[in-house]
Amino acid sequence: MFYFLVALLAYGESVLIRTNQGVSHLEEEKHNHSFDTTLLDSVTEENFSIPSDFGYNLSGSWLKVPENKFHLTMVMVHGVTHDRWRMMRYAQVYLRHGIDVVLYDHRKHGLSGGDEVSFGYFESKDLEKVIQWTKNKQQDHWIGAHGESLGAATVCMHSGINEETHSVNFYISDCAFSDTEDLLTLRAKEDMGLPDLGFVEATSLMARVRAGFFFSDSSPREKVAQSKVPFLFIHGISDTYIPKEMTEEMYAMKQHGEKFLWLVEGAEHAKSISVAPKQYETKVMEYIHTIISQINIHHHNN
């Protein structure tokens, strides 16, 4: 009975985690001065709602700059309990450099539907829907995907889908976890003092029965190992929630396509851009310049 109750508690704290669904965090982000709010006055904003393949709608915002200098749109993917506007702290970099941005809310977050968090499994399939919507709107644009935390794990998971759809040209992963079971085993030990006695496996079975996925279905490292498109991996060295070793593991496992790794001194979880904002902007823009130049050369030669 104790075993079942722990699994039930873990399911509630992971898959059914409270996310403030139904509420926009835009005013909160403005109040916290997490991004340059004047940028919203300089872009054209188009809100959208598109159907997921899983019976709910995905809500988002397309921010169009007056003149796109790269023929590039960045799709921004937020972390757990946040919403699309959390990603403005990153998106402002792109808007300042003349790059369009698509923001959207994950399932069970913000103004999107859905009842469960699936650690990137269903989220990566939803991301593909958002990217296809974006490609339909911007048919002559390259597409990049930039995620934070759960959003970073989602873009890593999507890189497996991308090997079939070829919808994304490059990725930026900031503080992703490499494997759901490994993360939840670590968090059970760190947060609740529970050794790995099979609770994660029991919770995973509950997730399969009630939400349609096993935790083993979301292993970003397996998808990254398959991916052939460029990746920039970022992680805070002082991250105690998702250890940097998870990103280092994925960097090591990626065998195909260009890969870059930046470990940020003094940065806790999802704080790299706060700790080193100017360096962050330089790193991502140097990466984008490099990749877009290579894509253009390859495209021209073909």
Which pLDDT does position 241 carry in this prediction? 95
Q: What is the DSSP string of 101-166?
A: EEEEPPTTSTT---S---TTHHHHHHHHHHHHHHHHH-TT-EEEEEEETHHHHHHHHHHHHHHHH-
On average, the pLDDT of the chain sits at: 92
pLDDT band at 2 (very low <50, low <70, confident <90, very high): very low
Residue 85 and residue 130 in contact, taking contact as beta carbons nearer than 8 Å: no
DSSP one-letter code for 171: E
Q: What is the DSSP string of 222-271?
A: HHHHH--S-EEEEEETT-SSS-HHHHHHHHHH--SS-EEEEEETT--TT-
pLDDT by residue (tens digit) across 274-302? 999 999 999 999 999 999 999 877 766 76
Residue 107 and residue 127 in contact, taking contact as beta carbons nearer than 8 Å: no
**pLDDT exceeds 90 at position 103:** yes
Beta bridge mates, 148? 174
Which pLDDT does position 300 carry in this prediction? 62
> Domains (ranges, CATH) in the chain?
25-175+218-301 (3.40.50.1820)
pLDDT by residue (tens digit) across 219-238? 999 999 999 999 999 999 99
Q: How many CA atoms lie within 13 A of 82 on its CB side?
A: 20
Residue 3 and residue 202 in contact, taking contact as beta carbons nearer than 8 Å: yes
**pLDDT exceeds 60 at position 11:** no
Which pLDDT does position 206 carry in this prediction? 79
Residue 101 and residue 137 in contact, taking contact as beta carbons nearer than 8 Å: no
